[in-house]
Every structure is written in structure tokens, then in C-alpha cells.
């Protein structure tokens, strides 16, 4: 009997430990996370026709409008791009600015008649944080709402003519959110 009691205590302790342990929480790869902004480019003269942007270079801008790192674009002349958005406090309007340079290969050319063209767009939105799971944590979605939107800075030579929001909420990457006409 003296040997049975310690053995029962050991077996009971092991059982409690094993039952109390949970599997490792790993966020599955197919779980939706914070989405990026998807922009499609369309022809201003035929607004149903996609139009690529020749040798597009995209850079995020900091609060002083100084260029940050270049954002990789999938193709040299894309008809759509995927851009990351900043997130701040939930419910606070947030602004992210991007420099979009068309014909970027001509930027270093000394010919003033044949130069790249830079436009700056401003994206205004309100982030909202959504609990996904213990393993995945929170994700952000972005709402344009009534005050948000996409606009461009005016200059003497804008290549971006107009913008249009086609999805008020950026909550996935299944479809475009904004159209830029050029």
C-alpha cells in the first residue's frame, strides 16, 4: 500500500499536467490578416479599360513628405498595385501618403522634355482592430467612411487625373479598393 499511494500521486500529477496543457497556438497561414490597399489603374478616356503605368516606382512618405523605402511593385508597368497602410489608434483618422513616379527610368535623364512624372497621393481612413484568435491576435481593417478617401496633390503636370473609391472598407485583399484614372 505504501508504494501504491506515491504511484497514484505521480500518475495523478502527470494526468493533471497533460490535461492542463494546450496545444501550441500557431496562426494558420490561411487566416486573414491586416489587408493592404489595392489600387487599379484605368484609362481616363475609356473608364472601363485597365491601363498600365509605365515603369512605376512607389515610395511611402513620412510625416515631412520625405521618401521612405521604395515599395516593391510586382511588374515594371503594372495595372494594379498593393500598398501597406499605417495604423494608429483605433477610431482615429489616419493619413498615409505615397509618391507614385511614372516613367521612373527617365528620372536621371538630362533631357528636360523627357522626364519622369511624380504625383503624390494621400489616403485618409480610420483603422479598426478586430480580434482574430489567441494565436493570431488582432488584425486591422480600414474604413474610408465619410471623411476618408484618396486624393492627389496638385502640381503643374499631374499624370493622375482622378481617383475613385470602390470599396468603403479595406477588410480583405480579394478585390481592388481604389481606382486611379490616368
| pLDDT tens by residue, 12-21 | 767 666 555 5
Q: Kindly report the length of the chain.
A: 182
Among candidate residues 59, 97, 57, the one with its CA nearest the CA of residue 77: 57
Among 11-15, 66-70, 129-133, 134-138, the minimum mean pLDDT is found in 11-15
Q: Looking at the domain assignment, is residue 2 inside a domain?
A: no
**What is the layout of strands, in order, in the sheet containing 37-42?**
80-83, 37-42, 178-181, 162-165
Distance CA 136, CA 30 (A): 11
CA distances from 51 to 47, 80, 125, 152, 180 (A): 9, 9, 26, 18, 10
Q: Looking at the domain assignment, is residue 125 inside a domain?
A: yes
Higher pLDDT, 100 or 70: 100
pLDDT tier at 47, thresholds 50, 70, 90: very high
Buried b (16+ CB within 10 A) or exposed e, 8-26: eeeeeeeeeeeeeeeeeee
Work out the percent of the chain whose per-residue pLDDT is above 90: 52
Joined grid coordinates for residue 140: 486591422
Q: Looking at the domain assignment, is residue 155 inside a domain?
A: yes
Q: Looking at the domain assignment, is residue 3 inside a domain?
A: no
Q: Looking at the domain assignment, is residue 11 inside a domain?
A: no
Q: Say what the pLDDT of residue 73 is.
A: 82
pLDDT at 51 > cutoff 60? yes
Residue 71 near residue 99 (C-beta atoms within 8 A): no
Structural domain span for residue 153: 37-181
pLDDT tier at 72, thresholds 50, 70, 90: confident
Distance CA 86, CA 79 (A): 23
Q: Say what the pLDDT of residue 20 is.
A: 59
Residues β-bridged to residue 128: 141
How many domains does the chain divide into? 1
Q: Looking at the domain assignment, is residue 81 inside a domain?
A: yes
Higher pLDDT, 15 or 66: 66
Q: Looking at the domain assignment, is residue 4 inside a domain?
A: no
Among 17-26, 43-52, 119-128, the minimum mean pLDDT is found in 17-26
pLDDT tier at 40, thresholds 50, 70, 90: very high
pLDDT in tens, 160-176: 999 999 999 999 999 99
Q: Say what the pLDDT of residue 15 is.
A: 65
Amino acid at each position: 500500500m505504501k508504494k501504491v499511494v506515491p504511484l497514484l500521486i505521480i500518475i495523478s500529477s502527470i494526468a493533471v499536467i497533460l490535461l492542463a496543457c494546450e496545444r501550441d497556438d500557431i496562426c494558420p497561414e490561411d487566416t486573414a490578416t491586416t489587408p493592404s490597399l489595392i489600387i487599379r489603374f484605368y484609362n481616363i478616356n475609356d473608364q472601363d479599360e485597365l491601363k498600365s503605368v509605365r515603369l512605376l516606382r512607389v515610395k511611402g512618405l513620412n510625416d515631412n513628405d520625405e521618401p521612405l523605402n521604395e515599395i516593391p511593385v510586382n511588374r515594371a508597368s503594372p495595372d494594379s498595385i498593393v500598398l501597406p497602410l499605417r495604423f494608429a489608434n483605433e477610431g482615429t483618422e489616419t493619413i498615409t501618403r505615397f509618391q507614385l513616379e511614372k516613367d521612373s527610368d527617365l528620372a536621371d535623364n538630362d533631357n528636360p522634355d523627357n522626364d519622369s512624372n511624380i504625383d503624390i497621393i494621400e489616403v485618409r481612413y480610420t483603422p479598426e482592430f478586430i480580434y482574430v484568435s489567441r494565436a493570431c491576435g488582432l488584425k486591422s481593417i480600414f474604413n474610408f467612411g465619410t471623411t476618408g478617401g484618396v486624393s492627389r496633390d496638385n502640381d503643374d503636370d499631374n499624370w493622375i487625373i482622378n481617383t475613385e473609391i470602390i470599396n468603403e472598407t479595406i477588410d480583405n485583399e480579394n478585390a481592388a479598393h481604389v481606382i486611379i484614372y490616368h
